[in-house]
Amino acid sequence: MIAALEPVHVYSNLPAAATERMVTTVNPLAKAAAPVLNRFRAQAIVDTATEQRSDHALMLAVRDGELDALGDLFERHHGPLFGFLVKFTGDRTAAEDIAQTVFQRMLKYRHTYRDDGSFTAWMYHLARHGAADHFRKASAAPHATDPADLQNHPDEAPHAGLRAAARDDQALLQIALARLDRNDREVLLLSRFQELSFAEISGILECSVGAAKVRAHRALQELRTIFFQLQTSRPRDGGTTDYGPKGTSPVVS
């Protein structure tokens, strides 16, 4: 069966009509496979065209009325955006709600997207305003999130003790992030976790590139200070520590 279909593979780089004519003369069985092959070829062309379109091109298409293109942008960016919002808000439910709101606002305000715009910067600009709305409604500081929700990579430590230490450090990092001033946390997440350029970050934060760099540097220094303080106060005898909210002393049990 496989051998009978080999001629179709040989001529698969030819136009559809030529393929059907040639496989008819090679093998009757291949004649039945030719339409299927051609459908796969057509779908592959469509998929490739979508993959080759930049985020900017897709958003311009949405702006100009090709609303289905927003689905492609959602598939590309929902995951990273959700991860950013989880770390920023400390609330997975709120993060999902804000992410959905961001894409809804993209559709609603698509006519405001500029020809020279940056899609990524625009998306995080919308996310920033969505998060601000959330904090105003919640009227409460973000809390530390379950580190299991924030893991980006599988645990590959070869020893159980190392894995436990890695998880503990991850937990301390999330607590340190939650203790940062909200503005510091925002610029740090954009620069270090989302890996945006400072040109993009300056557009999101509505400041100069130099100011964005200074803010990111100061935020990183503050994060390191908080993280090392948490490490120092961590119990070494197997007890547990309740680090509590910002401004409180750890309680060891």
Average pLDDT, integer, range 137-158:
47
- As annotated, the residues of the chain forming the CATH 1.10.1740.10 domain(s) are 53-140
pLDDT at site 233 = 81
User: What's the CATH number for 143-253?
Assistant: 1.10.10.10
In this prediction the pTM is 0.60
Least confident interval from 4-13, 73-82, 90-99, 243-252 = 243-252
Average pLDDT, integer, range 108-129:
94
Going by pLDDT thresholds of 50, 70 and 90, the confidence category of residue 228 is: very high
**Higher pLDDT residue, 77 or 173?**
77
Whether the per-residue pLDDT at 29 is higher than 90: the answer is no
- Give percent above pLDDT 70 in the chain: 60
pLDDT at site 236 = 57
Q: How far apart are the first and last CA of the chain?
A: 69
Amino acid at 189: L
The rounded radius of gyration (Å) of the Cα atoms in the chain is 26
Tell me how many degrees the CA angle 106-82-180 measures, rounded to the nearest 5.
110
Whether the per-residue pLDDT at 168 is higher than 70: the answer is yes
Going by pLDDT thresholds of 50, 70 and 90, the confidence category of residue 10 is: very low
Hey, what CATH class is 53-140 in?
mainly alpha
- As annotated, the residues of the chain forming the CATH 1.10.10.10 domain(s) are 143-253
Q: Tell me the average pLDDT of the chain.
A: 75
Nearest to 88 by CA among 127, 137, 139: 127
Q: Any bridge partners for residue 251, and if so which?
A: 242
Count of all residues that appear for the chain in the document: 253
pLDDT at site 138 = 77
C-beta contacts of 233-236 below 8 A and 24+ residues apart: 234/168, 234/172
Give CA–CA dist 178/174, Å, rounded.
6
Whether the per-residue pLDDT at 91 is higher than 80: the answer is yes
pLDDT at site 52 = 77
Nearest to 34 by CA among 46, 43, 22, 45: 22
Whether the per-residue pLDDT at 144 is higher than 50: the answer is no
Q: Taking the alpha carbons of 41, 43, 44, 48 in that order, is the dihedral positive or negative? A: positive
